[in-house]
Structure 1
Amino acid sequence: MSKKLIIILSISAALLGGYFINLTLRDDAQEIKKAIYSVNPHNTNIAHLEFLDNKQAIAFYEWDSQGRLHFGSAFLKKNLFGWELVGSSAGQLSGEYTIDWGFSSLESRFSGYTDLIRGKILDPQIEEVSVKTNAGNVYKANLIEYDKDEKFWFLVSKGENLEGSTITGLSSEGEKIEQITK
């Protein structure tokens, strides 16, 4: 092998290695926020980042558009170049219920996960959310508090269909405050 080829291969290996080290040292949360703000930079508040694994994440966010509050979720995958937004789902908060509700199918976006249901909690007395599927299984949803006194809930499934589930918002004493079937 010629000396020039060895030098070129060494420099290429060093540059490639440096790139991958830089990629692994990046702050995933900052990269995800950057991806979301690049699509919707105005009045967007990221409430929570949920890492499903080291290459798949869901960002829950809200934004205000002309006095109308929206709540949604963005789906992100990590690839060779960083985090990429692969989809999102959001809806305007109607105020019709004390617990907001939204559904997203994850099968085409994430490997190993099938459905997501989520929503903003509009009644501060709701301290727990349960989800009863059409198959009769009952799950306790994850409840996230953010921005002092705001709350939302979510449930991600691995194989169970969550569409059409019954969502129940409960008080700290277990009293039913709101029940929705969609």
Structure 2
Amino acid sequence: MISIAIFLTAAIFLIIAMLFGMNRAISALPVLFFIMLLISFFGFIVVQFFPIILIFLVIGYFRNRNKPKKTGNFYYRTYTQKDFEDMFRNQGGQSYGGNYQGGYQNNSFGNFEDKTKYYKILGVQEGVTPEELKKAYRDLAKKHHPDRYANADEEVRAMHERKFKEINEAYEKLQ
């Protein structure tokens, strides 16, 4: 069994030397010596129980063949453009001292939110002055205030309440 261990170790050494160079093969000698010792000591067991070991290896291969590869506890997922658009859309919220760039507002956390829909709700152009924005907000708030429609039927009152909430949200986001 020792001669087989020496032969296998020498063969592995030559393969490493041809593929990766002599320096790498020489640096692998301690590991190869350890492998040679394992083969010589446990080689008898491996030879005697090789059919059983082979059966376990084949069963393990076929059992795990269709399972996804794990890296820790995370499975890789492919993301689409819609996923990223949803992420940016959901990153809205209060703007903490951000600056305006086009229709997007950058808050201090680095998240961008599309503000163009709020300009459309208030009926103003982008880049409007704060005074003009406030005037447009007040005009629309007066027009759609729920108290003006207290005696109207349920549908009309609900529509104006919804519109009033949209106007308030738009003004809060654009302030």
Structure 1-normalised TM-score? 0.21
- Larger helix percent: 2
- Larger strand percent: 1
